[in-house]
Chain A
Amino acid sequence: MKLKFALTLGVAVIVTAAAAACGGPPPPPPQPAVDSAAIRDSIARARADSIARARAREDSIRRARERDEAMRRAREDSVARATTAAVRAMLQARVNFDFDRSNIRPGDARVLDQKLAILQANPNLRIQITGHCDERGSDEYNMALGNRRALAARAYLTDRGIAADRIGTRSMGERQPLAAGSNETAWAQNRRDEFEITAGGDRLVRPGGM
């Protein structure tokens, strides 16, 4: 048996060598004894699985990043909203007046100083000032008095550098009382300027120092 195998091997070597020496085509290699289609499928699945896992990892990472970003934005929005609300509240703080007067009282000047800083810190911000009166005086005179009160607050702000076209004024006279009643408590509340944002108020910046 061993001899036979040796002879066969020798013949094969000789034939091979002869063939090589003669330059003829080599014989086809022996084919493996496996199903190549199955292998390709297997490889494809392996690749797909690998890609899916990679994508899952990427998705997971992206979602995590997005969650982090959303949380960060939410925190920022929350802060911004709180800031905007606080600034709005400061901006909408009313100014009150003495009976039949339109001059800005010292305490109310500090209220207007806050609005001045806010307008300076938010250059796109535009506001409207509405002057109101108590029920005393004629209905028609109170229209003029309300206008004078609105103009007084606007003058305070424009005298300190705010562009006049950023501040509109109007008067409601005695037509929109804040408090009902015919007594000084009600009248004092009704003699007022109100401040409304007309543009640029979606995201307000808090002035430094506030």
Chain B
Amino acid sequence: MTAAAAPRRASVHVGVGRALGTLLTLAALAHPARAQDTVPPVEQGVRIGITYTPGQRPGLLVLGGLRAAALDSIRAILERDLDFSDRFEMISLPAGEGLTLGMVGSAGEPAPADPPATGSPAPFVNYPLYAALGAEFAVAVDPGADSNWAAVSLYDVRGAGERERARVLLRDPADPEFRLDVHRVADRLVQAATGEPGIAASGLLFLVRDRVYRIDPDRAGFAPVTPEGVSAFSPTWDPRGQRIVYSELAEGWGRIVVHDLRTGARSVVPPTTRYLNYTPVVSPAGRTLAYTRSDDEGTDIYTYNYAANCCLERLTVGRFSDNLSPTFSPDGRQVAFVSTRAGLPQIYVMAVDGTRQELFAPFDYGVTGSSFAPEWSPDGTRITFHRDVQGSPQVFIMDVRSRVVRQLTSAGRNEDATWAPDGRHLAFVSDRTGTRQIWVIDIETGRIRQLTTVGGASLPAWSPRFTQPTPP
């Protein structure tokens, strides 16, 4: 976002052909900051002048600017996205206020010194009102008249001024990419307010009855991905979010398939046409696949340079133990995995060439339950896995540096956690309501919400962020 200084004024105009107007999004600090972390200014013209306190949830308010259906849709999507970011406390305006933003020049407000170029009536940000409600931020979305690019402005309510402005892609509501555009706007708002981008512009894969499905973090966009009749297993994303990789099971064997979401093209990874190959994971550079193979010799981890179509390597030689479920560290230098070498399955780590294998998540022999399904966090500081606790799997995270393990869940059976791209949310499978569903937990606040309602869901995989195209 680019810095701008236009206190007490928000530009707005109504798109002639798109019937879009301006949204104002207000955020408020619901609780006084106790130990505030001031986010430093960001390079390349982005200036974040607000403060954000991890662990606190500032209040946030989304207002409708004009009575346009598209705006209501944008507002609804933004409300959910910002709520599900778990960084704000959503606030409702007094009745009627949500749809009656005061216009520039209306009672009590000074006329702007520099009217909007479009000539459209511009709402003013009612700083006193929103400050009275405890608002911290105000955001205006200006869709623009003739293009797919909109302007997003962040206002500092307490400072009574526009703090940041950015151009964002916001296509027509009829466009299939419209929702994703709004999600990206939400992520920009989260970044503007907290210094960290949100997770709205991402997606999750999961299995239902052997078929891979996809869903957005706001529960929209639920749809099958793999063809009907294909028995899929252990889906995952490539680092760019453009392809997915999964195991295709048939007659007791499993082959690794790379599925391009843009074209629908599917290709089989050559060394995986025999035996049972599963739990594929793509290296952060996007060139190497690591996966598990179960064959006549047991279960071990292999890597294959998919980009160069060569160089199959076996990283583990289990003989009397199983080694499976690899996960790359974000720098691509290490692989965490499950091994039964000490008896019960536990979490180990090794260099990407298979050397320096060692125990990763500590356990007490004969006391600690089995541990499964590790996944390295996007920032590399933590891993998540699930571990049996008194007969039920529960989701854990471990700090990589200190190797301190923390249990996150306790209700029902909770397993197969996957990191959101922000590194503070996890999706996991839980049967706490009676059927296996995908749930999302914010590990900072502990807030948990149900993502799916389909039943029988398993093996979720959270995508990276779907980044925004570069503005023209």
Which residues of chain A from 149 to 177 have any CB-CB distance to chain B below 8 Å in the complex? 151, 164, 169-172, 175
**Shortest Cβ distance from A130 into chain B, in angstroms?**
7
A residues less than 8 Å from B302 (CB atoms) = none
Chain B residue with minimal CB distance to A141?
A: B372
A residues less than 8 Å from B452 (CB atoms) = none
A139-B276 Cα distance, complex, nearest whole Å:
14
- Let me know if A141 and B324 touch, CB within 8 A: yes
Of B252, B278, B373, B459, the residue contacting A172 (CB under 8 A) is B252
Known contacts A169-B296, A170-B276, A171-B276: does B252 contact A141 (CB below 8 Å)? no
- Let me know if A171 and B294 touch, CB within 8 A: yes
- Let me know if B292 and A144 touch, CB within 8 A: yes
Q: Does B415 contact A (CB under 8 A)?
A: yes
Q: Does B172 contact A (CB under 8 A)?
A: no
A151-B297 Cα distance, complex, nearest whole Å:
8
A136-B393 Cα distance, complex, nearest whole Å:
8
Q: Does B329 contact A (CB under 8 A)?
A: no
Of B251, B292, B386, the residue contacting A170 (CB under 8 A) is B251
- Let me know if A130 and B252 touch, CB within 8 A: yes
Q: Does B126 contact A (CB under 8 A)?
A: no
Of A139, A147, A172, the residue contacting B458 (CB under 8 A) is A139
Q: Does A35 contact B (CB under 8 A)?
A: no
Q: Does A41 contact B (CB under 8 A)?
A: no
- Let me know if B459 and A139 touch, CB within 8 A: yes
Interface size class of B (residues with CB under 8 A): 20 to 34
A171-B249 Cα distance, complex, nearest whole Å:
11
Q: Does A100 contact B (CB under 8 A)?
A: yes
Which residues of chain A from 126 to 155 have any CB-CB distance to chain B below 8 Å in the complex? 128, 130, 136-141, 143-145, 147-148, 151
B residues less than 8 Å from A169 (CB atoms) = 296
Q: Does B194 contact A (CB under 8 A)?
A: no
A136-B323 Cα distance, complex, nearest whole Å:
18
A residues less than 8 Å from B344 (CB atoms) = 100
Q: Does B298 contact A (CB under 8 A)?
A: yes
A residues less than 8 Å from B276 (CB atoms) = 143, 147, 170-171
Chain B residue with minimal CB distance to A164?
A: B296
B residues less than 8 Å from A138 (CB atoms) = 325, 372-373, 386, 393, 415-416
A100-B458 Cα distance, complex, nearest whole Å:
20
- Let me know if B278 and A141 touch, CB within 8 A: no
- Let me know if A140 and B298 touch, CB within 8 A: no
Which residues of chain B from 257 to 305 have any CB-CB distance to chain A below 8 Å in the complex? 276, 278-279, 292, 294-296, 298-299
Of A144, A148, A164, A170, the residue contacting B252 (CB under 8 A) is A170
**Shortest Cβ distance from B172 into chain A, in angstroms?**
41
B residues less than 8 Å from A145 (CB atoms) = 322
Interface size class of A (residues with CB under 8 A): 20 to 34
Q: Does B56 contact A (CB under 8 A)?
A: no
User: How many A-B residue pairs lie within 8 Å, measured between CB atoms?
Assistant: 74
A139-B233 Cα distance, complex, nearest whole Å:
9
A residues less than 8 Å from B466 (CB atoms) = none
A residues less than 8 Å from B296 (CB atoms) = 151, 164, 169
A151-B295 Cα distance, complex, nearest whole Å:
9
B residues less than 8 Å from A170 (CB atoms) = 251-253, 276
Known contacts A147-B294, A148-B299: does B278 contact A140 (CB below 8 Å)? yes
A residues less than 8 Å from B459 (CB atoms) = 139-140
Which residues of chain A from 12 to 37 have any CB-CB distance to chain B below 8 Å in the complex? none
B residues less than 8 Å from A128 (CB atoms) = 252
- Let me know if B324 and A144 touch, CB within 8 A: yes
Mark each residue of chain B from 40 to 71: 1 if its CB lies under 8 Å from any CB of chain A, else 0.
Answer: 00000000000000000000000000000000
A residues less than 8 Å from B251 (CB atoms) = 170
Known contacts A130-B252, A171-B276: does B386 contact A144 (CB below 8 Å)? no
Which residues of chain A from 54 to 102 have any CB-CB distance to chain B below 8 Å in the complex? 100
A138-B207 Cα distance, complex, nearest whole Å:
14
Q: Does B234 contact A (CB under 8 A)?
A: yes
- Let me know if A144 and B299 touch, CB within 8 A: yes
Q: Does B195 contact A (CB under 8 A)?
A: no
B residues less than 8 Å from A137 (CB atoms) = 345, 370, 372
- Let me know if A144 and B370 touch, CB within 8 A: no
Mark each residue of chain A from 100 to 134: 1 if its CB lies under 8 Å from any CB of chain B, else 0.
Answer: 10000000000000000000000000001010000
A residues less than 8 Å from B294 (CB atoms) = 143-144, 147, 171
Q: Does B122 contact A (CB under 8 A)?
A: no
Q: Does B338 contact A (CB under 8 A)?
A: yes
- Let me know if B345 and A141 touch, CB within 8 A: yes
A126-B19 Cα distance, complex, nearest whole Å:
71
Known contacts A170-B251, A171-B276: does B373 contact A147 (CB below 8 Å)? no
A residues less than 8 Å from B388 (CB atoms) = 136
B residues less than 8 Å from A171 (CB atoms) = 252, 276, 294
A169-B279 Cα distance, complex, nearest whole Å:
19
Among B252, B322, B345, B393, max chain A CB count under 10 A is at: B252
- Let me know if B325 and A141 touch, CB within 8 A: yes
Chain A residue with minimal CB distance to B252?
A: A170
- Let me know if B253 and A140 touch, CB within 8 A: no
- Let me know if A143 and B253 touch, CB within 8 A: no
Chain A residue with minimal CB distance to B231?
A: A175
**Shortest Cβ distance from A199 into chain B, in angstroms?**
15
Known contacts A145-B322, A171-B252, A171-B294: does B370 contact A140 (CB below 8 Å)? no
- Let me know if B299 and A147 touch, CB within 8 A: yes
A147-B296 Cα distance, complex, nearest whole Å:
8
A139-B253 Cα distance, complex, nearest whole Å:
16
Known contacts A100-B344, A145-B322: does B299 contact A140 (CB below 8 Å)? no
- Please name 18 pairs of A and B residues whose Cβ atoms are closer than 8 Å in the assembled complex, sorted by A: A128-B252, A130-B252, A137-B370, A138-B325, A140-B234, A140-B324, A140-B372, A140-B373, A141-B324, A141-B370, A141-B372, A143-B276, A143-B278, A144-B299, A144-B324, A147-B295, A147-B299, A172-B252
New A-B contacts (8) at CB < 8 Å, excluding given A136-B388, A136-B391, A141-B370: A136-B393, A137-B372, A138-B386, A139-B458, A139-B459, A141-B345, A145-B322, A170-B253
4 closest Cβ pairs, A-B complex? A170-B252, A138-B372, A147-B294, A144-B299
